[in-house]
Amino acid sequence: MSRPGKDIKITEVSLRDGSHVVAHQFTEQQVRDVTRALDDAGMHYIEVSHGDGLGGSTIQYGRSLVDELKLIAAAVEEVKQSKIAVLLLPGIGTVHELKEANKCGAKLVRVATHVTEADVSAQHINMARELGMEALGFLMMAHSAPVEKLVEQAKLMESYGAEAVYVTDSAGALLPHEVRERIRALRESLDIEVGFHGHNNLSVAVANTFAAIEEGATRIDGSVRCLGAGAGNTQTEVLLAVMDRMGYDVGIDLYKMMDLAEDVVGPIIPGSQEIKKGSLALGYAGVYSSFLLHAERAGKKFGIDPRDILIELGKMNVVGGQEDMILDVAANLSKKQTVEA
């Protein structure tokens, strides 16, 4: 059966989600090199911003080596066919940063909220539409709410003007049947596109992405060499190879993606992007993937196993933006261990 795939739009997130892996230390030259190679391969969208989105360069989330607006502008200069995208988390980024990113040439914004807090996205989605940008909703930690709540919140984003809403598996905790259930529910309830953003903490990101595609998702995320938080995202070049085997043609050159993964992105990665005990604990506990480095640092500071910190955070149902809780949990676990000793 032929599956032309012409309606599927892929966003490469290594220059945003991958920012977590390099502690937000991307250089301008690295961003230019990766962007140029992705554009040459025919990538549809390339997301460039701090790992926690526009405005994320702070003490709490980690300072960027280079101002993100400079990186966005550099990426825009390198593209001939791809569009540059950005991520914005209301409360971290504001409409001011959104306007500045648009001035730099960003064409698309994903407005990201916790899965139960879509109401905080209205202002930013409306502003993006006014600026002439593509405005998409991004419901993070999608595993942590009932399907009915996910649908309710997606409808809110649709009512604000979002042109698509993503099921965002921030913790890499969803399994394929759970992805199918969520994508199917959104497809049946919305009149706009549905997307999927996966993490590979339980080694099912590609399987989850295909489950999403088969249920009608047309906005798909990937990250070259799994360069993303935790164990990384759906690996773009692997995804494209499987899509080709399945008969999907999305107009992206597979060999060029393989080459840039090996020759351009590979040297940037500080360590292997594999499923180690920390990232596995993220998926198992259902904790936001960008918490891993923070938990490892807190564990070292307080002499606590980072896995214990992540499991405790999972029990507390912490969400993105609550990174300050990591140190509190580590300190409390340390005190508890001292008392028990």
pLDDT digit string (tens) for 75-96? Answer: 999 999 999 999 999 999 999 9
* pLDDT at residue 61, rounded to an integer: 87
Look-up of token digits 């991958």: 18
Q: Does residue 49 share a domain with residue 115?
A: yes
Q: Does residue 316 share a domain with residue 235?
A: no
Q: Which residues are CB-neighbours of 4 under 8 A, at least 6 positions away?
A: 248, 249
Residue 337 clears pLDDT 90, i.e. is over it: no
Residue 2 clears pLDDT 60, i.e. is over it: no
* pLDDT at residue 3, rounded to an integer: 56
Q: Does residue 227 share a domain with residue 130?
A: yes
Q: Does residue 317 share a domain with residue 212?
A: no
In a domain, 280, yes or no: no
Residue 218 clears pLDDT 60, i.e. is over it: yes
Q: Does residue 100 share a domain with residue 236?
A: yes
In a domain, 254, yes or no: yes
Q: Does residue 239 share a domain with residue 129?
A: yes
* Residue 115 and residue 106 in contact, taking contact as beta carbons nearer than 8 Å: no
* pLDDT at residue 341, rounded to an integer: 63
Question: Cα(287)–Cα(291) distance, rounded to whole angstroms?
Answer: 7
In a domain, 1, yes or no: no
* pLDDT at residue 329, rounded to an integer: 93
* Residue 50 and residue 11 in contact, taking contact as beta carbons nearer than 8 Å: no
Residue 54 clears pLDDT 50, i.e. is over it: yes
Q: Does residue 260 share a domain with residue 223?
A: yes
In a domain, 215, yes or no: yes
Percentage of the residues of the chain whose pLDDT score is greater than 70: 98
Domain end call among 234, 267, 300: 267
In a domain, 132, yes or no: yes
Give the residue ranges of the annotated binding site for substrate: 16-17, 170, 197, 288
Give the residue ranges of the annotated binding site: 16-17, 170, 197, 199, 288
Query: What band does 60 get if pLDDT is binned at 50, 70 and 90?
Result: confident
pLDDT digit string (tens) for 302-318? Answer: 999 999 999 999 898 88
pLDDT digit string (tens) for 236-267? Answer: 999 999 999 999 999 999 999 999 999 999 99
**The domain that contains 16 carries what CATH number?**
3.20.20.70
Backbone angles phi and psi of 45, in degrees to 5? -130, 145
Q: Does residue 261 share a domain with residue 305?
A: no
Q: Does residue 326 share a domain with residue 228?
A: no
Give the residue ranges of the annotated binding site for Mn(2+): 17, 197, 199
Active-site annotation, residues: 20
In a domain, 301, yes or no: yes
Query: What band does 336 get if pLDDT is binned at 50, 70 and 90?
Result: confident
In a domain, 14, yes or no: yes
Q: Does residue 156 share a domain with residue 88?
A: yes
pLDDT digit string (tens) for 10-30? Answer: 999 999 999 999 999 999 999
Interval 176-195 mean pLDDT: 98
Q: Does residue 300 share a domain with residue 179?
A: no
**The domain that contains 318 carries what CATH number?**
1.10.8.60
Quick one: DSSP state of residue 248?
B
List the alpha helices (DSSP H) in 261-305: 277-285, 291-302
Mean of pLDDT over the chain: 94
Domain that holds residue 120: 9-267
Q: Domains in the chain: how many in total?
A: 2
Query: What band does 55 get if pLDDT is binned at 50, 70 and 90?
Result: very high
Q: Does residue 145 share a domain with residue 97?
A: yes
Backbone angles phi and psi of 165, in degrees to 5? -130, 135
Residue 1 clears pLDDT 50, i.e. is over it: no
321: left (phi over 0), alpha (psi -120 to 50) or beta: left
Q: Which residues are CB-neighbours of 110 under 8 A, at least 6 positions away?
A: 11, 47, 85, 86, 87, 88, 136, 137, 138, 166
